[in-house]
């Protein structure tokens, strides 16, 4: 029902009511579009293009995605700007109307014809007559396709009028003949338009009797039909023609009638213009109020955005603090766990050393005492003495490996030097231990320290057992920060013995320990002679 009421034809008595309805809020977009479109059409009919433009622009803003509404609004905006003699926006809106014209058939042809006619009018106002003629020709082709003789005749007349503006009366006469030949109807407006063109063409050719013969009957017909604008335009052509023929009395009478019409039209135009200014002022006031409301809404949106950002920053800060606290708690728990493990390892090492180590030492001392009392008489006693000493050494290695107080590079190096002195020294071999970038206080994980020592111990044992006539054993332990690796090398200068029939337990153990550390083990003869064992393991955080 609201839509039907919005599209009710507007008359001068109801225009104010429709204006009040359009300014009232609460309408749905479809009803508001109908109200503004109806008002725009009314102002066009009442020849009030300024008011029509204000409403048509509102229609265009209300239907951003409705191609039909956008095309209709742009078409009439082009027409209104042409009436106001503002051709550049008229051309822009005319081209926009072309972009939104869709569909097919006669309806589309009629739409395009109106758009091209508006574009031609704007191009004429810019004095771009070639462009205007091109638009008129496109309009003419569409009207011919529609077989609308009235529109065809008017378009021919527009081309004739365009030729008159270029001072080409002969060409204008040819196009006027085409217009007259195309139209066989009796519509007064078209007949008056063609008569006015015929009189203008005759006057430009200085054929004043023919011009008066056409213009005078047309003027009387316009006066009878109360078409004041057409009568005034005909009088503007008729007065100079009568004066040129020497019919000054008639020319004066027609001039007085023209002045009377101009005064009447001026008064009407003044009243209409005052009404337009009033509506435009009210529209500007409303737009200013809308602008204030929009500014207030933007200010509130900015405040809300700032509060949101502040709240988000606070949440991020709390989240970061929670993460830091969680990490600190986990680090503390890890330190406490490591401390408990270190204390447990130290206690186990002390218990093993004090209890089992003491027991093994007592067994070794008793076996040594018996062997001293009965030298060489009992082989079992000799084996018992050797096994007890080996067990004691093994026990010392185990105690050292699990002792948390030995988790440093200095403890590892001391143990390696002690082993070299106890094994290679008594065998008559020269030994040297070289280190690179290894401070004594560098911490070592227990598993890394244990695997490194046992690989070193096995490599030294292999050199003592399998090398032929060695004279020295060299050990190098180096840290490479750039490669983030730790490298152990054990080399001798003896001649390697024949390869064993199968891989020994020692080599397998070294490879397993290298794999446990994620490293790489290389075993074999050296190019310069002798035999070498090289272990390279990643260090991770220790590389720094």
Same domain membership, residue 259 and residue 198: yes
pLDDT higher than 80, residue 322:
yes
Instruction: Report which DSSP code applies to 443.
Output: B
3-state SS, residue 290: helix
pLDDT of 289 higher than 70: yes
Instruction: Supply the CATH number for residue 227's domain.
Output: 1.25.40.10
pLDDT at 503 over 60: no
**pLDDT for the residue numbered 119:** 92
Structural domain includes residue 25:
no
Q: 421 and 519, same structural domain?
A: yes
**Least confidently predicted of 276-290, 455-469, 516-530:** 276-290
* Structural domain count of the chain: 3
Boundaries of domain holding 342: 320-406
Q: Which residue has the higher pLDDT, 279 or 299?
A: 299
Long-range interactions of 270-278: CB distance < 8 A, separation 24+: 272/46, 272/47, 272/48, 275/48, 275/51, 276/48, 276/50, 276/51
Residue 1 domain-assigned (yes or no):
no
Residues 424 and 529 in one domain: yes
Same domain (yes/no): 350, 419: no
- Report residue 351's pLDDT band, with 50, 70 and 90 as the boundaries: low
CA 172 to CA 199: how far, in whole Å? 12
Domain shared by 200 and 268, yes or no: yes
Tell me, yes or no, whether 329 and 270 share the same domain.
Answer: no
Last residue of a domain, one of 406, 425, 444: 406
| Other CB atoms within 10 A of residue 195 CB | 22
Least confident of 257-261, 269-273, 317-321, 395-399: 269-273
* Residue at a domain's end among 406, 421, 443: 406
Query: What is the chain's alpha carbon radius of gyration, rounded to the nearest angstrom?
Result: 56
Give the rounded percent of residues in the chain with a pLDDT score beyond 70: 87
pLDDT beyond 50 at 344: yes
The pTM score is 0.49
For residues 446, 449, 453, 455, the Cα torsion angle rounded to the nearest 10 degrees is: 100
Residue 151 zone, left/alpha/beta (φ > 0; ψ -120 to 50; rest): alpha
Does residue 357 belong to any structural domain of this protein? yes
Percent of the chain with pLDDT over 90: 12
pLDDT for the residue 193: 83
Closest listed residue to residue 400, CA positions, set 436, 441, 454, 362: 454
Per-residue pLDDT, averaged over 511-526, amounts to 88
Please report whether residue 55 resides in a domain. no
CB atoms closer than 10 angstroms to residue 533: 23
Condensed to tens digits (0 to 9), the pLDDT of residues 45-90 reads: 888 888 888 888 888 888 878 888 888 889 999 999 998 889 999 9
pLDDT at 26: 79
Check whether residue 376 and residue 365 sit in a common domain: yes
Residue 505 covered by a domain: yes
How far is residue 496's CA from residue 530's CA, in Å, rounded to a whole number? Answer: 6
More confident residue, 487 or 106: 487
With a cut of 90, say whether residue 92 has pLDDT above it: yes
Q: Write the burial class of residue 65 (CB in 10 Å: 0-12 exposed, 13-18 middle, 19+ buried).
A: exposed
Instruction: Let me know whether 397 and 416 are in one domain.
Output: no
First to last CA, the chain: 83
Beta bridge partners of 480: 485
| Token duo for residue 33 | 């579009």
Strand locations in 375-515, DSSP E? 430-436, 467-468, 472-480, 485-492, 495-496
Confirm if 155 and 182 have CB atoms less than 8 A apart: no
Mean pLDDT for 402-414 is 79
What are the residues facing 490 on neighbouring strands? Answer: 475, 533
Task: Please check whether residues 374 and 389 belong to one and the same domain.
Answer: yes
Please name every residue paired with 467 in a beta bridge, in sequence order, or none if there are none. 496
- pLDDT one-digit tens code per residue, 305-320: 999 999 999 999 999 9
CATH at residue 461: 3.30.565.10
Residue 352's CB is within 10 A of a number of other CB atoms, namely 18
Q: Give the 3-state secondary structure of residue 518.
A: coil
pLDDT given for residue 352 in this prediction: 66
Question: Has residue 154 been placed in a domain?
Answer: no
**Structural tokens at position 333:** 């728990």
**Contact 34/58 with Cβ under 8 angstroms?**
no
Q: Which H or E element spans position 127?
A: none
Residues 349 and 418 in one domain: no
Q: Which pLDDT score is estimated for 135? A: 92
CA distance 325 to 331: 10
487, 477 Cβ separation under 8 angstroms: yes
Q: What are phi and psi of 476, to 5 degrees?
A: -125, 130
Predicted confidence at residue 280, as pLDDT, reads 59
Residue 134 lies in a domain: no
The reply to whether 13 falls in a domain is no
In the prediction, which pLDDT does 501 show? 45
Q: Rounded mean pLDDT of the chain?
A: 83
Q: What separation in angstroms does the CA of 438 have from each of 226, 260, 480, 487, 544?
A: 115, 116, 10, 11, 12
Contact present, 118 and 86 (Cβ < 8 Å): no
Residues 537 and 419 in one domain: yes
Mean pLDDT for the stretch of residues 362-379: 67
Residue 278 has pLDDT above 80, yes or no: no
Quote the pLDDT of residue 499.
54
d(CA 359, CA 357): 5
| C-beta separation of 132 from 159 below 8 A | no
Taking residues 240-260, report their average pLDDT: 87
Residues 441 and 451 in one domain: yes
Q: How many CA atoms lie within 13 A of 185 on its CB side?
A: 17
- In whole angstroms, what separates CA 80 from the centre of its chain? 40
What is the DSSP code string of 293-360? Answer: HHHHHHHHHHHHHHHHHHHHHHHHHHHHHHHHHHHHHHHHHHHHHHHHHHHHHHHHHHHIIIIIIHHH
Return left, alpha or beta for 66; rule: phi > 0 is left, psi -120 to 50 is alpha, else beta. Answer: beta
Using the 3D structure, point to which of 359, 379, 406 is the last residue of a domain.
406
């Amino acid at each position: 029902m609201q839509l039907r009421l919005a599209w009710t034809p507007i008359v001068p008595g109801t225009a104010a009511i429709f204006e009040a309805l359009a300014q009232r809020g609460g309408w749905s977009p479809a009803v508001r579009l109908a109200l503004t479109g109806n008002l725009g059409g009314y102002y066009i009919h009442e020849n009030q293009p300024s008011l029509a433009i204000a409403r048509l622009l509102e229609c265009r803003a209300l239907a951003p995605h409705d191609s039909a509404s956008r095309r209709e609004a742009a078409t009439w905006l082009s027409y209104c700007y042409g009436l106001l003699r503002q051709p550049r926006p008229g051309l822009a809106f005319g081209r926009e109307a072309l972009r939104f014209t869709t569909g097919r058939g006669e309806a589309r042809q009629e739409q395009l014809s109106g758009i091209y006619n508006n574009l031609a009018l704007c191009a004429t106002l810019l004095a771009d007559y070639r462009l205007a003629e091109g638009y008129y020709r496109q309009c003419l082709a569409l009207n011919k396709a529609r077989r609308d003789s009235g529109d065809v005749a008017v378009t021919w007349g527009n081309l004739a009028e365009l030729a008159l503006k270029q001072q080409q009366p002969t060409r204008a006469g040819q196009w006027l003949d085409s217009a007259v030949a195309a139209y066989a109807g009796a519509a007064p407006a078209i007949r008056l338009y063609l008569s006015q063109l015929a009189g203008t063409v005759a006057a430009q050719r200085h054929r004043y009797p023919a011009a008066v013969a056409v213009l005078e009957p047309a003027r009387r017909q316009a006066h009878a039909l109360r078409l004041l604008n057409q009568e005034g335009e005909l009088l503007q052509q008729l007065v100079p023609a009568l004066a040129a023929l020497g019919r000054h009395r008639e020319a004066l009478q027609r001039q007085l009638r023209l002045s009377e019409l101009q005064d009447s039209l001026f008064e009407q135009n003044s009243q209409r213009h005052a009404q337009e200014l009033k509506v435009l002022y009210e529209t500007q006031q409303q737009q200013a109020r809308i602008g204030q409301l929009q500014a207030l809404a933007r200010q509130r949106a900015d405040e809300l955005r700032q509060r949101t950002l502040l709240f988000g920053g606070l949440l991020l800060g709390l989240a970061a603090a929670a993460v830091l606290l969680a990490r600190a708690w986990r680090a503390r728990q890890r330190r406490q766990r490591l401390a408990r493990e270190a204390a447990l390892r130290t206690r186990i090492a002390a218990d093993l050393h004090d209890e089992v180590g003491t027991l093994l030492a007592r067994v070794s001392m008793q076996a040594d005492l018996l062997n001293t009392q009965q030298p060489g008489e009992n082989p079992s006693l000799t084996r018992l003495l050797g096994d007890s000493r080996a067990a004691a050494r093994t026990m010392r290695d185990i105690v050292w490996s699990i002792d948390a107080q030995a988790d440093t590079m200095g403890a590892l190096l001391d143990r390696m030097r002690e082993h070299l002195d106890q094994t290679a020294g008594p065998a008559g071999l020269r030994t040297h231990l070289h280190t690179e970038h290894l401070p004594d206080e560098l911490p070592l994980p227990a598993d890394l320290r244990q695997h490194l020592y046992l690989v070193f111990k096995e490599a030294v044992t292999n050199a003592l057992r399998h090398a032929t006539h060695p004279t020295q054993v060299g050990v190098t332990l180096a840290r490479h920060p750039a490669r983030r690796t730790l490298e152990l090398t054990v080399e001798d200068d003896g001649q390697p013995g024949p390869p064993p029939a199968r891989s020994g337990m020692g080599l397998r153990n070294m490879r397993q320990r290298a794999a446990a550390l994620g490293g790489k083990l290389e075993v074999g003869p050296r190019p310069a002679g002798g035999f070498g064992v090289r272990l390279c393991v990643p260090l991770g955080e220790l590389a720094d």
